[in-house]
Structure 1
Amino acid sequence: MLYYLFDYLNKTLNISGTGVFQYITFRSSLAFILSLLLSTIYGKRVISFLQRQQVGETIRELGLKGQNEKAGTPTMGGLIIIFATLIPVFLFAKLHNIYVVLLIVTTLWMGTIGFVDDYIKIFKKDKEGLKGIFKVFGQVGLGLIVGCVLYFNPQVTVRTDTGKIDVFRQTTETVVVPAGIEEKSTATTIPFFKNNEFDYAEVLAWTGDGYEKWAWLIYIPVVIFIITAVSNGANLTDGIDGLAAGTSAISVLALAIFTFVSGNIIFSNYLNIMYIPNSGEMTVFIAAFVGALIGFLWYNSYPASVFMGDTGSLTIGGIIAVLAIAVRKELLIPLLCGIFLVENFSVVLQVSYFKYTKKRFGEGRRIFLMSPLHHHYQKKGYHESKIVTRFWIVAILLAILSIVTLKLR
């Protein structure tokens, strides 16, 4: 909203200094600062409110050291992340930008699913929460919306070959004239390959001429799968103090770099990557989101004063998935979100191996002492703060390696 006010003051009244709001970097900085302040200053009030409402976490007996001490800790802290993200976005972002709209919808959609799940657990005293089938329906529904918008909306375009660009000055304005034309495309980026663009439509090339118009049959299911997988991965990672929020902040910071360079014609041309018009505006949303995550960590670090609950974890996963898909870096998710991937696989392997051995030997056996993976290390006697710190270090390494793919191919 402030963006439109200052845009009016600059273009209509020509007030000196108001043009600074045209810069994504400036608005991103403001979004980050405001988000951080909101989550740290008002986060305490939200926690106090949750305590008064007796919104306490019910702890299952897992035989983990210090686990019972967390009983009664307020949950639904994901509300802090959601509000601290959306308020700066509404103030500083271009709300007519299709990518920003998609991210706002994702935040509210996944936040609602998580909130309902937490509400059932806490107030209905049902430890299972929202039935798994309804969670999946919600995730698939969001994937369907995001996939359809990205595929059919005319504002979502790419320029894969930026070619030569001319930069010259007209009076006080710098004008950039890119080569080529914007086009609808289902192209994405394959990391570590020189000619690293892959078009989902090519999967249907065997059907003959005109196969491009059926690309949505491949693209939309892929989007649905990614959103479902990443949101569930974030949900599983949220098991010990500060783990999900910290690793997510690291991954999102890496995505901020991809978003900024992909939405800038000069940087995308220099790095020889896909130019995605208007995508740079997502940097403002990301800055607010990172500020909210860091502010939330103020209260969620060990020993946690609040848990994010499914309200936060499902929202985090959904946002990361949509960001990666929108900036055409979804194939980097296994690397960038490697912590989520390993946590997911540890559960799948544990359950699958247990069922297999029970069927074959009559007694179920386990690969890990406990799953997800962070609980395995807790069972081995590691303090949870040490586990979280080491997972953060791994997440930083994965983020750096992901960023390196901009040139390493």
Structure 2
Amino acid sequence: MEGKSASVRGLNPTGTVLLILLGIVLTGSILWLDLQQGRGLMNSLLLPFLVSTGLVSAIGYQAIPLLKQLKMGQFIREDGPQAHLKKAGTPTMGGVFVVPIGTILGVLWSRFDPDAIAVTVASLGYFAIGGVDDWKSLSNRKNEGLTPKGKLLLQTAIAIAFCGWAIYRRGNTITNVHLPFNIIIPLGVLFWGLAVFALLAESNATNLTDGVDGLAGGTGAIALAGLAAIILPKEPNLAIFCICLSGSYLGFVVHNRNKAKVFMGDTGSLALGGALAAVGILTENLWVLFILSGIFAIEALSVTAQVFYYKATKDAEGKGKRLFKMAPIHHHLELSGWTETQVVGVFYAIEVVLVLIALATRF
């Protein structure tokens, strides 16, 4: 009886409500898209979405106890929000059962489409980097994994390889940037810099967003579903891939909603950004990707602004001022009095609006 009471006290109804609302928004949007496209049951986007969501959710109940047995408990930064210290020991590396399931289902459902396979390889590359980073953090028993330089070099190598394959696969037309009102800007060799930057920026931005229960997984699921809706008419196979991955991240939020039973870790967050950027590059939708990534961009820019402002305001003793109470910005909002679920709910709503804007401005 005492254990049951403790369990009830541990429930967060607000986190559950946010999860239900997220599921309704995604499911309803995909169903509406199916109806608009006249897609029957066999070609429905809703079916792979529901299968990937259900599979990741179900496997999570087996994977989380295993992560606990393997002592994959997260170390929490002491200089972070004090409310997060109670999360110490929560299993991390949840991406190990999210990314493989989502990408494998995406490849299978797209009938082994070469583009879906290529995006899977890129995503799994970032997944592997995140896995090594998470593992080193756990082995060192502190929140420090790969060195920033080493991590960036590995990410860059994957980005260059993927961009080379993309040009080989799609030809020089992929080096054009499409903007609203049918504006096309040919980049030529400059495409390499922009595309590599997109992969690096997106993967690191989603990584920074993964700091509040349910935030990265939920916003990522919305962004992937929005990208699927935009590319569906021209790229149905990659749209199916995105839907499968969207469902897998929604399935993860079942366990990651506040109060989280598992964290995504770099294993899942780097792969999320890598997949978004890779699909955006292949489908010539970098402008759309820029809009869909608004939340992730704000998170990353808040960190950059914090660092630059601190350095610019250093006094004679070498101490600077802080632009935010803490970066990324979700921590600033927490320290300003917002609850985690308030941050997540507002960010989910913003991401939905960004998807609508992207749909309105697609070329």
Using the size of structure 2 for normalisation, the TM-score is: 0.85
Q: 1:87 aligns with which of 98, 104, 108?
A: 104
Q: Which residue is equivalent to 1:112?
A: 128
Q: Out of 237, 243, 256, which is 1:281 matched to?
A: 237
Give the 5 Å matches for 1:7-406: 26=43, 28-62=45-79, 64-95=81-112, 97-153=113-169, 156=170, 184-191=173-180, 194-200=181-187, 215=188, 217-261=189-233, 263=234, 279-358=235-314, 362-406=318-362
Is contact 2:155–2:200 with CA below 8 Å preserved after alignment?
A: yes
SS in 2 for 1:111: helix
Q: Which has the larger radius of gyration?
A: 1
User: Residues of 2 paired with 1:224 and 1:104: CA distance?
Assistant: 17
Q: Secondary structure at the match of 2:232?
A: helix
- Verify the 8 A CA contact 2:208 2:300 in the aligned structure 1: yes
- Displacement of 1:314 in angstroms is 0.3
Q: Distance in 1 between matches of 2:136 and 2:185?
A: 43
Per the TM alignment, residue 405 of structure 1 is displaced from its structure 2 partner at its CA by 0.6
Asked whether the 8 Å contact 2:134–2:265 carries over to 1, the reply is yes
Over 6 Å off, 4+ runs: 22-25
Q: Is the 8 A contact 2:107 2:117 kept in 1?
A: no
- Aligned-residue offset at 1:184: 4.3
CA distance in 1, matches of 2:102, 2:152: 25
Q: Secondary structure at the match of 2:185?
A: strand
Question: CA deviation digits over 1:211-243, x for unaligned, max 9?
Answer: xxxx3x322222111100010100110001011
Task: Report if the CA contact (8 A) 1:117-1:129 is conserved.
Answer: yes
Following the alignment from structure 2 to structure 1, what is the Cα–Cα distance between the partners of residues 75 and 164?
39
Task: Give the superposition deviation at 1:280.
Answer: 2.2
Structure 1 residue 23 displacement after superposition: 8.1
Q: Residues 360 and 250 (structure 1 numbering): CA distance in 2 closer, same or farther, change over 3 Å? A: farther
| Distance across 2 between alignment mates of 1:230 and 1:119 | 22
Residue 90 to residue 323, structure 1, CA distance change in 2 (3 Å):
closer
Quote the offset at 1:34 in angstroms: 2.0
Q: SS of 1:381's equivalent?
A: coil
The alignment of Structure 1 onto Structure 2 pairs a total of residues equal to: 325
Please report how far the alpha carbon of residue 362 of structure 1 lies from its aligned counterpart in structure 2 after TM superposition: 4.7
Q: Aligned equivalents of 1:152 and 1:53: distance in 2?
A: 42
Aligned-pair CA distance for 1:30 = 3.5
- Write the distance in 2 (CA, Å) between the matches of 1:24 and 1:307: 34
Letter in 1 for 2:338: Y
* TM-score normalised over the length of structure 1: 0.75
Match of 1:60, SS state, is coil
Q: Structure 1 counterpart of 2:186, which letter?
A: D
Q: Which amino acid aligns with 1:228?
A: L
Identity level (%)? 32
CA contact (8 A) 2:106 2:242 kept: no
Residues 353 and 89 from structure 1, CA distance in 2 versus in 1: closer, same or farther, beyond 3 angstroms? Answer: same
Residue 250 of structure 1 and its aligned partner are, at CA, apart by 1.2
RMSD: 2.0
- Matches of 2:56 and 2:89 in 1, distance apart? 21
Letter in 2 for 1:253: A
- The question of whether the paired residues in 2 share the 8 Å contact of 1:55 and 1:122 is answered with yes
Distance, in Å, in 2 between the alignment partners of 1:60 and 1:294 is: 27
Contact 1:46 1:80 in 2 (8 A): yes
For 1:63 and 1:47, the matched residues in 2 are separated by 25
Cα distance between partner residues in 2 of 1:90 and 1:403: 25
Shift of 1:146: 1.5
Q: 1:65 to 1:385 in 2, by over 3 A?
A: farther
Q: CA deviation at 1:33?
A: 2.4
